Amino acid sequence: MALDIGAAPWLGTVSIDSAALDIVKIMKAKHLGFYDDAFGTDINYWERIVLIQRMLSHS
């Protein structure tokens, strides 16, 4: 329907899990075990993937 009235198809979707915006903070505190399965134990990795920090550094 939207295409019929001139809307262009979107290029993609970014889905942000707001419960995991600051993985470093989560991982340094007491947290549920599934976070360990998802993010491992490497703090350098956590720092590279922190979404909120990456968003702020590019704004």
Query: Tens of pLDDT along 3-15?
Result: 889 888 888 877 7
0.75 exceeded by the pTM? no
More confident residue, 48 or 16: 48
- Which residue, 59, 57, 54, is CA-closest to 21? 54
Q: Chain-wide mean pLDDT for the chain?
A: 84
More confident residue, 3 or 54: 3
pLDDT band at 58 (very low <50, low <70, confident <90, very high): low
Percent of the chain with pLDDT over 90: 41
CA distances for 29 relative to 1, 8, 11, 33, 59, angstroms = 47, 44, 37, 12, 28
| DSSP string over the chain | -TGGGTPPPP-------GGGS-HHHHHHS---HHHHHHH-S-HHHHHHH-HHHHHHHT-
Which tokens belong to 46? 């956590």
